[in-house]
Structure 1
Amino acid sequence: MNALSGAAIFVVQTLVSLYLVIVLLRFVLQLVKANFYNPLCQFAVRATQPLLKPIRRVIPSVGGLDTSSLLLSVVIQALLMAFVLMVTYGTFGDILHLLMWAIIGITSLFLKIFWVAMIVMVIVSWVAPNSHNPAAELAYQISEPVLAPFRRIVPNLGGMDISPIFAFLAIQVIQSFVMPPLAAYAGMPQELWRMI
């Protein structure tokens, strides 16, 4: 792979990954029942609506889950992986492997969204508690379903909530000790694993 191919992969991967985060964030927002009047939620809806509107006509929501957003994120991830493989090796492999790898990539990105939301929530709780910033409210709404099980187990230490530590630890264990063997078992090339 020459420098021009590497630059093309970097630019396309960065732009597509940003849009992929927005699409998956829309799924997460509906999953956690976030306030859709939040300006950031409105942005996610407007940014994803052109691609999701036709898919929604065919794929309905299942059990309150936005399956069309999830499907779109898997398709975008698979297309991005196919592009990287085509530029790197001159072939994109078979569809079944691409779909498996895309699902692994989306799962990893899903965990990263919760990780970042919890980081933002923790920082805001230290720096500006009771903030009504739209990003802080959204981070709290995304983090709360992840932290709730840990809060039931971990006692409150005199007003200090240490449940995020255990949530971070759980996410890190999954990212470090579950996802790599899963990717290796699925035969994911190293170039694709590095991008997720």
Structure 2
Amino acid sequence: MGIDSAQMFGIVINVAILLVFFRFLTQLAMVSPYNPVVLSTVKATKIVDIFGRIFPTLAKGRVNTAALVLIIILYLLKMFGVMYLSGHMITSPVHLLILTFVSMIQDLIRFCRILIFATIILSWVVMFTQSRSPYIEVIQELAEPLLAPFRRLLPNTGMIDLSPILAFLALMIAERLMDEVARTLLIGF
């Protein structure tokens, strides 16, 4: 066992988590199911459909609880597997659950920051090239629910959209808070 096997396991399970999470977000943000990126993600995550027989969708089909349960299971496997393969053992199941949920929230915040940053860059790409690809459309549609509340708070400034900056700052504050929570929880165990 060792660090190399723990890193390899972490990479493989992170890819699975990212695919299932991407499927969850595309359904939550109501991205067009006919987009080629969404279609390929749905094909790659057929296991969500199997879980879907057990767990219903909520909010008029927007919240896929099967994908959410699968993400939690994958995170639990990730936390346990990485710790086991790197030689660290969990002291209690409660500790494992808390670490899993804190890690999930931290990863969600990081993903949202990357998504907002990608939206900013791609808006410039679209403006200069005057072309749109399915990838760009998916990223912009995924970021829209994150940016919409901040657009309502800010006054209309015409061509300049300041909502990504405000959203980015809010996510940085949330990330700092979660880091403090994680640090406090790790000291407590």
TM-score (normalised: structure 1): 0.85
CA distance in 2, matches of 1:62, 1:185: 34
Instruction: Provide the residue aligned with 1:117 in structure 2.
Output: 115
Instruction: Provide the residue aligned with 1:192 in structure 2.
Output: none
The unaligned stretches of length 5 or more in structure 1 are 190-196
In the alignment, does 2:43 pair up with 1:46?
Answer: yes
Q: Which runs of 4+ in 1 moved over 6 A?
A: none
User: Which residue identity is paired with 1:61?
Assistant: T
Q: Deviations over 1:22-44 (max 9, x none)?
A: 11111111111111111111122
- Which aligned pairs between 1:33-182 and structure 2 lie closer than 5 A? 33-49=30-46, 51-63=47-59, 64=61, 65-129=63-127, 130-176=130-176, 178-182=177-181
The alignment partner of 1:128 has SS state of helix
The alignment partner of 2:86 has SS state of helix
The alignment partner of 1:58 has SS state of coil
CA distance in 1, matches of 2:185, 2:65: 24
CA distance in 2, matches of 1:140, 1:90: 40
User: Quick check: 2:29–2:142 contact (8 Å CA) kept in 1?
Assistant: yes
CA distance in 2, matches of 1:125, 1:79: 37
CA distance in 2, matches of 1:186, 1:43: 38
User: Quick check: 1:114–1:142 contact (8 Å CA) kept in 2?
Assistant: no
CA distance in 2, matches of 1:106, 1:36: 26
Indicate the RMSD between aligned Cα atoms, in angstroms: 2.0
- Flag the 1:34–1:166 CA change in 2: closer, same or farther, 3 A: same
User: Quick check: 1:147–1:163 contact (8 Å CA) kept in 2?
Assistant: yes
Displacement of 1:88 after TM fit?
A: 2.9
CA distance in 2, matches of 1:97, 1:31: 30
User: Which residue identity is paired with 1:148?
Assistant: A
CA distance in 1, matches of 2:75, 2:174: 20
Q: Deviations over 1:113-150 (max 9, x none)?
A: 32222222211111222532111101110111111111
Q: Deviations over 1:61-110 (max 9, x none)?
A: 23341111111111101111101221233534433322222222222222
CA distance in 2, matches of 1:148, 1:18: 28
The alignment-based identity, stated in percent, is 28
User: Which residue identity is paired with 2:57?
Assistant: S
CA distance in 2, matches of 1:99, 1:60: 23
Moved more, 104-113 or 70-79: 104-113
User: Which residue identity is paired with 1:55?
Assistant: F
TM-score (normalised: structure 2): 0.88
Count of residue pairs brought into register by the alignment: 184
